[in-house]
Amino acid sequence: MTSNLTADVVVIGFGKGGKVTAAALGRAGRRVILIERSDQMYGGTCPNVGCVPTKQLVHHSSKRRPDDSPEEWFERSIAEVKALTSTFRAGNYNALNEAENITVLTGTASFVDEHTVAVGDVRIVAETILINTGSESVIPNIPGLRESPRTVTNVDLIHTAHLPGRLAVIGGGYQGIEFASIYRRFGTQVTVLESSDRILGREDDDVAAVAADILTGEGVEIVAGAEVLEIRDEDTVVYRKGGREHTLTVDAILAATGRAPAIAELKLENAGVRTTAGGAVEVDSYLRTSQPHIFALGDVNGGPQFTYISLDDSRIVVDQLLGSGKRSTADRVAVPQTLFMSPPLATVGLTEKAARSAGYRVRIGMENVADIVAMPRAYIVEETRGAMKFVIDAETDQILGAALLSVDAQELINVVTLAMRHRITAAELRDSIYTHPSSTEAFNEVLGAVIRADGVR
């Protein structure tokens, strides 16, 4: 028997943007129904299968001592990850389902028409609908890859308590490198197969080279310029490099070639919601879809795939529904990101290559962490690998971008980002007073060398 419900707002997907918006609208007195497809995904990707579990694995992998059994250490680490994600999941569910004016439904949602959403036998009619279904891993169309039982996604890996003896990672981007670093530190033999001539193609050559040196120094094998041809006999990766075919027998194959918006089950055509050529929900700068009462937040709208972007999306939508309606994606300046290898690589703004291509005259400051005298913390915590690089406008002294591959980089990048947003110059950041011993005081030295440089590179 079909039952009918009404609400002021329906939120499809329990991700960051959706849950924050739902909470704000509930507090404002709106009747909200929040729909989540899986009872294992309350809270969204980050606390369940993304940021939280992977970063916890980074932490545990760095704590393993040489005498610890890799398999036992990994199994225990996965158990702790599951315990933490379970706690977060329950906390997310209870926080919203017990909130006034908010009801959580579990099931697959699809549009019936532009104001009606179906979940099983339930039909919900709402004035406003928010799509927050996130993204999902893409498995490339390589013969045998999808059929092989050895093929895994990032989600599969963190749900598996068995440590693979040998792991092939297809893709040398952020996700691939992060998992390569994690699993190598747990004791797995890792080979990264990257089709380009180097890993981390979005970064400058010198920054990518430092990252590659760190990874290879830990025992990760990086095969650049590798074209994966097929997966043979379920466990053999066949690839071409330099005109020759090679084979690699592995226990697991991680497909790390990207993620795509999760829209397959939504039946967007029933609501007249348009999508882009890349398969994302089409939105304007206020995150309205082709139907003005339907919004799309987070990965599903084709923007940067970060939890904090989904959070900022919620601010835009809340401002549309409860505020002045002026906030938009055009307000975003300097969005940072971090690759949690060990040590982490955090970046923001333009690379040197991009800045020069855009016509800037730039000054470049780059030092290896081991050479930065004003950064004793690196020696205190015994992590002197990495480098810091700044790209600075030679005309205005504004920071155009930075790449920080160092201990504490995930925190340091936020300082640089804030400086860029508020147009604080490189000289001001150089001359700021930082605590000692800290990683931040490295800016005194690295930026000092840039300002004292005679020429413009």
Per-residue pLDDT of the chain (457 residues; tens, 9 = 90+): 678 999 999 999 999 999 999 999 999 999 999 999 999 899 998 888 888 989 899 999 988 888 889 899 999 999 999 999 999 999 999 999 999 999 999 999 999 999 999 999 999 999 999 999 999 999 999 999 999 999 999 999 988 999 999 999 999 999 999 999 999 999 999 999 999 999 999 999 999 999 999 999 999 999 999 999 999 999 999 999 999 999 999 999 999 999 999 999 999 999 999 999 999 999 999 999 999 999 999 999 999 999 999 999 999 999 999 999 999 999 999 999 999 999 999 999 999 999 999 999 999 999 999 999 999 999 999 999 999 999 999 999 999 999 999 999 999 999 999 999 999 999 999 999 999 999 999 999 999 987 655 444 4
First vs last Cα of the chain: how many Å apart?
Answer: 72
Does 217 show up as a binding residue in the annotation?
no
* Contact in structure between 56 and 50 (CB atoms under 8 Å): no
Does 351 show up as a binding residue in the annotation?
no
Residues 95-148 have pLDDT tens digits of: 999 999 999 999 999 999 999 999 999 999 999 999 999 999 999 999 999 999
Per domain, the residue ranges of the chain are: 3-136+260-331, 151-257, 337-452
**Residue recorded with tokens 């809270």:** 43
Residues 161-212 have pLDDT tens digits of: 999 999 999 999 999 999 999 999 999 999 999 999 999 999 999 999 999 9
Strand pairing class (116-119; 122-131): antiparallel
Q: Which of 374, 370, 367 has its CA nearest to residue 450?
A: 367
List 160's β-bridge partners, or say none.
none
Q: What is the pLDDT of residue 256?
A: 95
CATH of domain 337-452: 3.30.390.30
Give domain 151-257's CATH architecture.
Answer: 3-Layer(bba) Sandwich (3.50)
Instruction: Tell me which of 3.60.15.10, 3.50.50.60, 3.40.50.150, 3.30.1280.10 is the CATH number of domain 3-136+260-331.
Output: 3.50.50.60
Rounded to the nearest integer, the mean pLDDT of the chain is 95
Catalytic residue selected from 59, 60, 293, 436: 436
Same fold for the pair 151-257 and 337-452:
no
Does 302 show up as a binding residue in the annotation?
no
Q: What is the pLDDT of residue 457?
A: 45
Q: What is the pLDDT of residue 455?
A: 47
Per the annotation, the verdict on 436 as an active-site residue is yes
Does 43 show up as a binding residue in the annotation?
no
* Contact in structure between 329 and 318 (CB atoms under 8 Å): no
Does 178 show up as a binding residue in the annotation?
yes
Does 177 show up as a binding residue in the annotation?
yes
Residues 417-433 have pLDDT tens digits of: 999 999 999 999 999 99
